[in-house]
Structure 1
Amino acid sequence: MSGAARLRLSGGPGRSGVTRWAGADRIAAATPAHRDRTIDALRAVAILGVVLGHWLVSALVSDPAQPADVHGASPLGETPALAPATWLFETLGPFFFAGGYAAARSIRGRAFRPWFGTRFVRLGRPVVVLAAVWLPAMLLLRVIGAPESTRHVVRSLVTHPLWFLLVFLLLTALTPLLRAAVLRHRTWTAAPLVALVALGDLLHLGSGTTPVGWAVPYVLGIALAEGVLPRRAGAVLAAAGATAMAALVLGLGYPASAVGVPGAGRSNLDPPSLFALALAAVQIGLFLLIRGRLAGWLRRPPVWAPVVLLNVFAMTVFCWHQSALLLTSFGGLLVGRLPGLLDEPSGWWPVHRLLWLPVFAAVLIALCSAFHRLESARRRP
């Protein structure tokens, strides 16, 4: 797959569209026949969901009297009617599902220590590069006297998305045990985990239940890899998940937003609640239902090539997407409180923010081009 990443989709200015199509053909030809393209597509969609979700709900607000004084806000606090939109962009469930599938497939016939070491380095190197850039930057902000609120929002946006890496590494380390449990108990392995999440919701146990919550889709991914999660389970998961979402919100008072809302007393994401698991069940169920047709689409080189690139750059995109938001916003300080950037997230702000997404994406592409080579410099082809 890393070899395919180096194939160019475009020959640059002056090249014809035929060259771009040929590049897609080369990527398709470089893909191993045994690779499950649908899982790669699910992972790509999950990464896009996380990135777009963060860009759409992370508002940086500049103080009109002191523009350098920036604090964080969210349009969800101003417009509760936007809550259903978070169901589309909260895609950590599918991400952990894809991770469980990939781990179960890759560990077969391999010793645990080198297998885990490879995955640890693959996840850890992008974080090291991110830290090498942002730790001096944070020190510089302190030296030049940046307001504490500004430094706080930078720390939060850069570091908060990385919490999932610790959970992902823990579940990766537990893969042999979870896989053995799935081989013995099939999908029932997830039942006690769901029960523990329900207990955590009832007793308000806090973030300590986070690994347990995301272990549920991870186990389902292992079950798919081991052939014990059939396609017909998709209808059950989707229906049961949708029913549970409605019951939890309408009957038990769970928040309707899939992500945290500033000022709210309860969050479905920190730690993942039963609502988060129900949403993940719907998403995974729908994926299982369309998986066969999706596999056919992904055999087309122009469809498959972007999926390959998103997977190759997945960790770089995840680590740097909030940096793209920060850099664009700080650049906006030179101009003022542009609509959708540095102003209060109310009124038409969500519409204005949509117009900034291409700018964030362009900055992110530049960051990925700059740092992906450093992250993979010592990685074997």
Structure 2
Amino acid sequence: MSAPETKPETKPESRQETGRKTGPASTPGVLAKVRAAAGRIDAKTPAHRDRAIDGLRALALLAVPTGHWLLGGFTLDSDGALHNASPLSAFGGLAPASWVLQMLGVFFLVGGYASALSFRRHTGSAGAWLKGRIVRLGRPVLGVTAVWALAAPVLYAAGVPEATLRTGAKLVIQPLWFVGVYVVVTALTPYCVRAAHRLGGWAAAPLLASVAVVDFLRYGPFADSVPGWVALVNILPGWLFAYQLGVAWGEGRIGRRGGWLLLAGGGVLFAALLMVFHYPASMVGVPGEARTNSHPPSLLVLALAAAQSGAAILLRDRLARLLARPLLWAPVVVINLCAMTILCWHQTAMLAAAVPGSFAGGLAGLTTAPDSVGWIVARLAWMPVFAALLVGIARYARRFERPAPGLSRATAVRRTVAGLLAAGFAVFALGLA
């Protein structure tokens, strides 16, 4: 068998041809740099890192800005001020999109899993462990609210209407409720671990039952005589449910059999609540609707969280194999390193386009009413712009996720000032000032 014929090496005829084929801006050159960077990230990843868990966290994180950017819009009043609006008011058929984009159940599941492992490995006291996690969550929240507290007066002086600033403040504050709830459920980790050891995945069942009882009181035959504050009882068990499942998963008390049970049981319950008990189809609030599933969470949220958790458990091994590829793993690492930055600043990225746009009048998909198919198409075109703005903001806002220097007097003063600014901004955002 003869060797394959080889062609003699040829030289390019000119510098121009060489630059066209191998120049630094060529696509092969860019791809090579991307592959090299991904390879470096992959090489630095510890062997014990659970890539599937990080992948699920990244997926849940990206769903937050995607959902807010797609399902949130604005209208302009006669004074040129922005007000919140939603395409769900005009297009009820978009509600199933919220079933995919509402992934807080997965986020709490992964949070419980990671907390269980972290708590098990921690050698100090439970208080020290909790303090470290709270500080890591609190710095970015303090950062974004303090920056907005300083920026709001400047924007007002520049001619931005007060109504626009209040709209923006509400949007910035909106995702941050999650951090407060997450801190509370994280504080309960030691108790969740004990419950998981005793009951396994079934430790989450009483939480589901509690939400079901409250929903019966809210929407059942005696709803007219039940005070409105009763709904708030659902906040803790509603979000602790998926977290408890995650702790049990992290402690090895839920396997594939439990995953199938969660997927099937959650799916059946979800369908029954929609078709038999007529729960609202949207997983997010719709302006003008009397009932909402998410604030506080209804039983439908837990049904979806159960189904999503079951799917996550069943797909874990496959996801881990996919993320063994450096090109897929590298973006997951970047997203996880910027997790709180994405959560805290993604609404600011949208506002960075919408507020200047409001001075130009009605811009389709940005400042026009979200009540037409054209708006949906235009909004999809704006999504890369929002993403690019978020990347630009993250270059500077990422510093709030870095560990703080030692507690000096100057650091203590900065934290106090930032806390006061954040508190003032929260009062403004909540309409109390």
Q: TM-score, normalised by structure 1?
A: 0.92
Deviation at 1:114?
2.0
1:323 aligns with 2:337: no
1:191 to 205, 209, 219: 205
Deviation at 1:363?
0.3
Are the counterparts in 1 of residues 51 and 323 from structure 2 also a CA contact under 8 Å? Answer: yes
Deviation at 1:132?
1.8
1:280 aligns with 2:293: no
1:79 to 83, 86, 91: 91
In 2, Cα distance between the equivalents of 1:302 and 1:183?
A: 38
1:337 to 344, 355, 362: 362
Q: Which amino acid aligns with 1:87?
A: W
Residue equivalent to 1:95:
107
Are the counterparts in 1 of residues 338 and 401 from structure 2 also a CA contact under 8 Å? Answer: no
| 1:305-332 CA-partner distances (Å, limit 9, x unpaired) | 0000000001001100000011110121
Residue equivalent to 2:421:
none
In 2, Cα distance between the equivalents of 1:99 and 1:92?
A: 10
| 1:143-199 CA-partner distances (Å, limit 9, x unpaired) | 667545323211210101100111100011110011111111111111111111112
Q: Which amino acid aligns with 1:31?
A: T
Give the match's secondary structure for 1:44.
helix
**What RMSD over aligned residues (CA atoms) do the two structures have, in Å?**
1.8
In 2, Cα distance between the equivalents of 1:314 and 1:255?
A: 30
Map residues 1-381 of structure 1 onto 2, 5 A cutoff: 16-63=30-77, 65-67=78-80, 69-110=81-122, 111-141=125-155, 146-204=160-218, 205-348=230-373, 349-376=375-402, 378=404
Q: Which amino acid aligns with 2:363?
A: L
| 1:20-72 CA-partner distances (Å, limit 9, x unpaired) | 21211121121121121111000000011111000111111112x322x1111
Q: Which amino acid aligns with 1:332?
A: G
Q: Which amino acid aligns with 2:352?
A: L
Max Rg structure: 2
The 3 A distance-change label for structure 1 pair 347 and 109 is closer
| 1:210-254 CA-partner distances (Å, limit 9, x unpaired) | 121111100110111111110222222112111111110111120
Deviation at 1:18?
2.3
In 2, Cα distance between the equivalents of 1:321 and 1:186?
A: 36
Q: Which amino acid aligns with 1:113?
A: G
Give the match's secondary structure for 1:247.
helix
Deviation at 1:275?
0.5
In 2, Cα distance between the equivalents of 1:338 and 1:131?
A: 28
The 3 A distance-change label for structure 1 pair 102 and 334 is same
Give the match's secondary structure for 2:76.
strand
In 1, Cα distance between the equivalents of 2:400 and 2:121?
A: 31
In 2, Cα distance between the equivalents of 1:287 and 1:211?
A: 22
Residue equivalent to 1:7:
none
Deviation at 1:208?
3.4
In 2, Cα distance between the equivalents of 1:375 and 1:255?
A: 37
Name whichever of 213-222 and 113-122 sits farther off: 113-122
Q: Which amino acid aligns with 1:260?
A: G
In 2, Cα distance between the equivalents of 1:76 and 1:215?
A: 28
Give the match's secondary structure for 1:66.
coil
| 1:264-313 CA-partner distances (Å, limit 9, x unpaired) | 11111011111001111121111122211111111111110000000000
Name whichever of 371-380 and 280-289 sits farther off: 371-380
Deviation at 1:333?
2.2
The 3 A distance-change label for structure 1 pair 147 and 23 is closer
Q: Which amino acid aligns with 1:248?
A: L
Give the match's secondary structure for 1:346.
coil
Q: Which amino acid aligns with 1:102?
A: A
Give the match's secondary structure for 2:287.
coil
In 1, Cα distance between the equivalents of 2:93 and 2:33?
A: 46
Q: Which runs of 4+ in 1 moved over 4 A?
A: 12-16, 141-148
In 2, Cα distance between the equivalents of 1:300 and 1:32?
A: 14
Q: Which amino acid aligns with 1:106?
A: S
Aligned length: 367
Are the counterparts in 2 of residues 129 and 375 from structure 1 also a CA contact under 8 Å? Answer: no
In 2, Cα distance between the equivalents of 1:319 and 1:109?
A: 29
Deviation at 1:374?
4.1
Name whichever of 14-23 and 305-314 sits farther off: 14-23
In 1, Cα distance between the equivalents of 2:385 and 2:308?
A: 29
Are the counterparts in 2 of residues 207 and 271 from structure 1 also a CA contact under 8 Å? Answer: yes
Q: Which amino acid aligns with 2:383?
A: L
